[in-house]
Structure 1
Amino acid sequence: MEKLLISYTPFETRVGLIEGNQLVEFYVERPSEKGLVGNIYKAKVVRVVPGINSAFVDLGLSRTAFLFGDDIMPSGEVDWDKEGIMITHLHEILKEGQEILVQVIKEPIGNKGARVSTNLTLPGHYLVYLPYMNHIGISRKINNEKDRKRLREMLDKIRPLNTGWIIRTAAVEASEEDLKIEMEFLLNFWQEIKEKAEKVKAPALIYEELNIALRAIRDLFNKQISAIIVDNKEFYEQIKNFLNKFFPHLTPYVELYEGHEDIFTAHGIQIDIKKILSRKVWLKSGGFIVIEPCEAFTAIDVNTGRYTGTKELEETVFKINLEAAEEIAYQLRLRNIGGLIIIDFIDMENPEHQELVVQTLKEALKKDKAKHSILPISPFGILQMTRERKRESLYQIFYETCPYCSGEGKIKSKRTIYYEILRRIMKMGPHIKNKKVEIEINPELSEIIGEEIQYLEDLEKKYNFTATLKPNKEFPIWEYKFHIM
């Protein structure tokens, strides 16, 4: 069975999906770095660029967002190409200064602003409401034809005329009444969004997506999950209150963890970021894969390593590639790697072996909720694939460009180091009562600690100790020491 572990602190929320005794998905959200995907804005069109069929819109953020022609609902001049694909002339629909409702579909990455769409989606647990569509879609993960037909007929019977819906995987276990209740909630929710949008001037935030914990429950919960375990009482109550109101059938699964040990450690999971994001991953056979995130794509190389099989070379290579295919699917999901991915398998001469490796990769990716597309292995042993990228990968959350090597390598971000210090203090907890704790740090950490000093002050009050910071220019940015007096 699976479990959803939720670890909450005021400075960081961590969510882990556990299958058996293995961490398969890991998400982190920090209030200071909260994502934008799913947010709905009333935006103002800043510039329309006919040459690339796109527009830049102001959301009220530091950078304008990008609206591509394929991401706008066709409410203006429309053509069709030779293959029957609709072509929307965006410059015929939008004008500079126009106010429109948009939803963020991709986070800003690097120097690029967020990508937005006017095709709004409002997700529930069983259904996704498409306010501007007249359509019924069904999750591709529901592959039983009888289930697909039953769900389509059920939804078509209860949906209002000319409304659009997507049936999510979780709906397989839902009754008609379950779908009705959620449908009514989503329709009322859309009405509230429209009314709010009418009252404000662009740019303005109209709806903010749920926090990472509630989003994970809504999107990841399925019949395989036996429990949702939360390690903070106040946050546990918030989650229960939310579920009671919107998804009452999920409330019985929520449990409060009251142990003193870290919730992940207590469930046999070690959250070691360096290990999770290790460049080299060893396979059970003795082979290994190397994962290299690049600016335009992620490169993955498969190697024989220490494998000492006694069979012929082709069989040895085939076995390692099969094992690597399963491990790569796992790593993509765990690290949340998106975009273009290039996999260099060890060369195989047998076409049947190549096909089996591709099928193994596809099968291993079936549990992955992110959309993906896979091409056959090329004559050079290269497999190209894409994986949906909506939010930041773990690399982008936990690492920042190293100032000591000008970007040739990676180090932990200052905020991550500060939060490690806070977690160390929480672990020392009762042992530092009525004591003075001197924290020796690199001076560059002082700024981030100053910005978020309330977290350290809260711990001082909670554990009744006094903290002082001692700058040490000799320390690398990631090094720190505690002196208890």
Structure 2
Amino acid sequence: MSAEILINVRPQETRVAYVEGGILSDLKIERKTSPTLVGSIHRGTVIRVLPGMQAAFVDIGLEKAAFLYVGDIREDVDDNFLSSVDREEPLEEGDDDKPHSHHVKTPIQDLVKEGQSILVQVSKDPLGTKGARLTTHLSLPGRFVVFLPTVRHLGISRRIEDEAERERLRQLVQKINPSGGVIVRTAGDGASEEMLKADIEYLDRLSKEIFKNYEKKKTPGALHTELDVELRALRDMMSEEVTSVWVDDIEIHKKVVKFVSQFMPKYKQNIVLYEEKKPLFDLYDIDIEISRSMERKIWLKSGGYIVIDEAEALVVIDVNTGKFVGKKDLEDTILKTNLEAVRETAHQLRIRNCGGIIIIDFIDMEKESHREKVMEALAEDLGKDRARTNIVSMSQLGLVEMTRKRIRPSLIKTLCEPCSYCDGKGYIKRKSTVANEIFRELERDADMLINKKTNVVIHCHGDVTDWIYEVEGESLENIEKKLGRSVAFKIEPNYHLEQYEIFFV
């Protein structure tokens, strides 16, 4: 299916949309005030080691200390990271596109010490109250390969499914015999030996330059940063399916043309400067789709809908039939709704960039064959996702647990902020609740007012005052009897609905 890449540039924000068959299928947004740190390499200083958590906090020159887990620390972290990799050792092959897990058994207190300088890479952006997550296993992505200067590993992208092609790529990389590890990316499918060698040699030189900068730099700070979002997107998304890359800024267009000419010359003619008055993203109503993806409820074409709640620990997706009543029987209606929800869910996860643990609550299905159809459809649609996903089987209640690799903040976290009125809770107390809180507090103060000639004045929000006079008149009379005096209210227009103060004057 043909695709296009749209690069929309503004002074403080750059947006990149991947449109497939006229439909938005991937979106990247980066603002100058909060650029991504993922992929950047730093000289860090260990400021605290926590044996109880098997983790350490590392100063990498940011406001907030970064987090380093013991499983992300090389056993030879003290060594020269280039000379510690023996080129004579055979490349350790893996069946997937990532190095074998490093199950570090050495306690963290024996690996790093407070005050120690280490070379680290950001693997996850800061999120909420958490600092950036770090690793000492460096990876440098190129066009065709990802170079791993600290390990001897050979991997092939799982998206390259042809066994003959996988074997050809393995033999080519072994023949090149790089100084570090190599993962051949999906774009490497069909790449010649010269292409792979040029990519590997460039990244090898880059890794050596990074290490030299590490030796020179004496304080925590950045040594290498990732490409800007527009170049990063082209490196990762450009393929034979992409017929055009539209850029609506002349300076960025020149930058993109130069980048593509150097690293992907065969696609140079696909880069087009967009000069029309109509906004670039309006060609495919992308802004409408972005607004839709920030809604909690997403309607399906059939009349059903899904509800997406993004919490701190996980993302929950609930599927409902809504207005869809079907044509045959209940089971058929449920299956059709669930299958439609599968497609929309996979689409929304990509656009929203949701990550971590995801729970999907499908409508209960009685037939096992229907459950299998839904699971097969989910696996197929998630297979198109560039982010790594893992699906757990469906439970008897119709719940599906899955994970999606989270690297950067989601669309909601990027474009939105917690509601200042409810403080991000999503709800506030009812007016009746606040009124009864006032009455209960007055009851507690009743004894204090005996034999005292004081007036009671409640300062509160106008809506609460209206509620008390219109609905809680009986309760107000009751509390005035207990206090032996009348209660006056003063409306404070700047008060929060839940805020009140009691004054005795």
Larger radius of gyration: 2
Q: Does 1:13 align with 2:19?
A: no
Q: Does 1:102 align with 2:120?
A: yes
Distance 2:104 2:409 in 1: 31
Change (3 A) 1:97 1:249: farther
Counterpart of 2:297 in structure 1: which amino acid? Answer: K
**Segment of structure 1 superposing worse, 271-280 or 190-199:** 271-280
What secondary structure is seen at the aligned counterpart in 2 of 1:374? Answer: strand
List per-residue Cα deviations over 1:142-164 (Å, max 9, x = no partner): 1121111111111111133x520
Shift of 1:71: 0.8
Contact 1:66–1:116 (Cα < 8 Å) also in 2 = yes
- Equivalent position of 1:133 in the other structure: 151
List per-residue Cα deviations over 1:169-197 (Å, max 9, x = no partner): 01113111111111111111111111111
- Equivalent position of 1:394 in the other structure: 411
- Equivalent position of 2:422 in the other structure: 405
Shift of 1:407: 1.5
Q: Does 1:324 align with 2:341?
A: yes
Change (3 A) 1:76 1:213: closer
Change (3 A) 1:242 1:5: same
1:325-344 paired onto structure 2 within 5 Å: 325-344=342-361
- Equivalent position of 2:231 in the other structure: 214
What secondary structure is seen at the aligned counterpart in 2 of 1:143? Answer: coil
Change (3 A) 1:372 1:84: closer
**Segment of structure 1 superposing worse, 344-353 or 114-123:** 344-353
Contact 1:21–1:269 (Cα < 8 Å) also in 2 = no
- Equivalent position of 2:160 in the other structure: 142
Counterpart of 2:8 in structure 1: which amino acid? Answer: S
Contact 1:71–1:118 (Cα < 8 Å) also in 2 = yes
- Equivalent position of 2:270 in the other structure: 253
What secondary structure is seen at the aligned counterpart in 2 of 1:197? Answer: helix
Contact 1:342–1:382 (Cα < 8 Å) also in 2 = yes
What secondary structure is seen at the aligned counterpart in 2 of 1:173? Answer: coil
Contact 2:72–2:102 (Cα < 8 Å) also in 1 = no
1:357-396 paired onto structure 2 within 5 Å: 357-396=374-413
What secondary structure is seen at the aligned counterpart in 1 of 2:369? Answer: helix
Shift of 1:76: 7.2
Distance 2:266 2:310 in 1: 40
List per-residue Cα deviations over 1:67-96 (Å, max 9, x = no partner): 00111122279xxxxx99552422212111
Counterpart of 2:171 in structure 1: which amino acid? Answer: E
1:74-473 paired onto structure 2 within 5 Å: 74-75=75-76, 85-160=103-178, 163-271=180-288, 273-409=290-426
Overall identity of the aligned pairs, in %: 45
Contact 1:318–1:353 (Cα < 8 Å) also in 2 = yes
Contact 1:314–1:348 (Cα < 8 Å) also in 2 = yes
Counterpart of 1:28 in structure 2: which amino acid? Answer: I
Distance 2:47 2:6 in 1: 43
**TM-score, normalised with respect to structure 2:** 0.77
Counterpart of 2:369 in structure 1: which amino acid? Answer: E
List per-residue Cα deviations over 1:240-286 (Å, max 9, x = no partner): 22333344344332111111111111345444543221111111222
Contact 1:37–1:391 (Cα < 8 Å) also in 2 = yes
Q: Give ranges in structure 2 of 5+ residues lacking alignment.
A: 79-100, 428-492, 495-505
What secondary structure is seen at the aligned counterpart in 2 of 1:52? Answer: coil
Shift of 1:111: 0.8
Contact 2:70–2:104 (Cα < 8 Å) also in 1 = no
What secondary structure is seen at the aligned counterpart in 2 of 1:320? Answer: helix
Counterpart of 1:242 in structure 2: which amino acid? Answer: F
Distance 1:62 1:76 in 2: 25
Shift of 1:383: 0.6
List per-residue Cα deviations over 1:96-153 (Å, max 9, x = no partner): 1111110000111111110000000000010000001111011111112111111111
Distance 1:250 1:49 in 2: 50
Distance 1:21 1:119 in 2: 39
What secondary structure is seen at the aligned counterpart in 1 of 2:232? Answer: helix
Q: Give ranges in structure 1 of 5+ residues lacking alignment.
A: 78-82, 411-472, 475-485
Counterpart of 1:46 in structure 2: which amino acid? Answer: I
Contact 1:336–1:394 (Cα < 8 Å) also in 2 = yes
Change (3 A) 1:267 1:317: closer
Contact 1:232–1:256 (Cα < 8 Å) also in 2 = yes
RMSD of equivalent CA atoms: 2.0
Shift of 1:366: 1.1
Change (3 A) 1:250 1:185: farther
- Equivalent position of 2:473 in the other structure: none
What secondary structure is seen at the aligned counterpart in 2 of 1:401? Answer: coil
Counterpart of 1:393 in structure 2: which amino acid? Answer: S
- Equivalent position of 1:49 in the other structure: 50
What secondary structure is seen at the aligned counterpart in 1 of 2:323? Answer: coil
Counterpart of 1:32 in structure 2: which amino acid? Answer: T
Aligned positions, number: 406
Contact 1:233–1:256 (Cα < 8 Å) also in 2 = yes
Change (3 A) 1:333 1:198: same
What secondary structure is seen at the aligned counterpart in 1 of 2:189? Answer: helix
- Equivalent position of 1:30 in the other structure: 31
Contact 1:322–1:360 (Cα < 8 Å) also in 2 = yes
List per-residue Cα deviations over 1:306-348 (Å, max 9, x = no partner): 1121212112111111111111011100110111111100001
Shift of 1:227: 1.6
Distance 1:107 1:269 in 2: 26
